[in-house]
Amino acid sequence: MKGGRRGPPPPLMPQARSIALECHGCFDIIGDVHGCHDLLVRLLEELGYHEGVHEQGRCLVFVGDLVDRGPEVLATLRLVRSFVESGRALAVMGNHDDKLRRWLMGRRVQVTHGLDRSIAELSGLTAVERQGLAEFLGGLPTQLVLDEGRLVVAHAGLYEELQGVDSGAARRMALYGVPTGEKTVEGLPVRRDWAADYRGRALVVYGHTPVPEPRWLNNTVNIDLGAVYGGALAALRYPERTVVRVAANSSGSADSGSSRCNR
């Protein structure tokens, strides 16, 4: 970013530092799930996880947007929450997770972009259950700095100068990316192609904007393959830098079976 920074630099995120110590450097980073629970279960099988544990000590990481749009939001939340709270997985917050958290806390939010599906499933929960989910979502960091700074996971991406930084600007970019201020014909904010300007040393793994194939650019990779739109749920294996995927709506191809997550 341009412009002088006034005063002392913002503090490093505590999560970013402590979590890096617990994993041994081999991660499977999973793209936007959006309630595609069945696909997630199949992908975990494909990756060799049993109950969230990998026999080679690999560590699961979720790139955020666990909720909204898809058919099984609650099952997805419960599964990932059980992994995260028992120390079997890491996850960063996506913009959808943050908005659902605000709804769970009784805030007024616009019911758009698939939030209606989450509400349909979660509105029957007790106040205690809602609070538990809200606390889980609220406890997720917006970025993870892993492998001694060589790997960064943030839902919508993160410029180098915001990595490891706990500030409003860092949280905004990690959750929403970089809006240009323009809107699409559908009224959605136009997102700047931040990866095109990225010059950082860390590999940034992100999602947020569905792409048909993993998109590698300037030491970044977008692994949101649009599972909920009939694409695939993907995992980036790190440090191998290979992608494992399960397709949402195909049957009989090499890496996939059928799934009901194809809307």
Other Cβ atoms within 10 Å of 212 Cβ, number: 9
Q: Which is nearer to Mn ion, 12 or 190 (CB)?
A: 190
Give the residue with the Cβ less far from Mn ion, 98 or 147.
98
Q: Which is nearer to Mn ion, 23 or 248 (CB)?
A: 248
| For Mn ion, the closer CB: 23 or 140 | 140
Identified binder of Mn ion from the candidate list 28, 38, 65, 72, rule CB under 5 A: 65
DSSP letters for 212-258: SS-EEETTEEE---BGGGTSEEEEEEETTTEEEEEESS-SSSTT---
Least Å from the CB of residue 53 to Mn ion: 28
CB of 20 to Mn ion, least distance (A): 24
In the range 93-122, which residues lie near Mn ion by CB under 5 A?
Answer: 94-95
Stretch of 51-59, 60-68, 101-109, 190-198 lying at the interface with Mn ion (CB under 5 A): 60-68
Q: Does 147 bind Mn ion (CB under 5 A)?
A: no
Instruction: Choose one: 1-9, 58-66, 131-139, 144-152; the region binding Mn ion (CB under 5 A).
Output: 58-66
* Residues of this chain, 200-239, that bind Mn ion according to CB under 5 A: 208
CA distance 16 to 165: 9
> What minimum distance in Å lies between the beta carbon of 94 and Mn ion?
5
Q: How far is the CB of 64 from Mn ion (least distance, A)?
A: 7
- Provide, rounded to whole angstroms, the least separation between the CB of residue 95 and Mn ion: 5
| Cβ distance to Mn ion smaller for residue 69 or 208 | 208
**Minimal distance, residue 209 CB to Mn ion, in Å:** 8
Count of residues of this chain found to bind Mn ion when the rule CB under 5 A is applied: 4
The nearest distance, CB 21 to Mn ion, in angstroms, is 28
CA distances from 103 to 19, 95, 118, 134, 172 (A): 28, 13, 10, 9, 19
Q: Give me the helices (H) in the chain, please.
A: 14-19, 37-47, 73-85, 95-104, 115-122, 127-138, 168-176, 194-197
- Region of 63 please: left (phi>0), alpha (psi -120 to 50) or beta: alpha
Buried residues in 73-104 as b, exposed as e (16+ CB within 10 A): bbbbbebbbebbeeebbbbbbbbbbbbbbebb
Q: Contact region for Mn ion (CB under 5 A) — 57-65, 75-83, 144-152, 210-218?
A: 57-65
User: CA 204, CA 238: separation in Å to the nearest integer?
Assistant: 11
The residues binding Mn ion (CB under 5 A) are 65, 94-95, 208
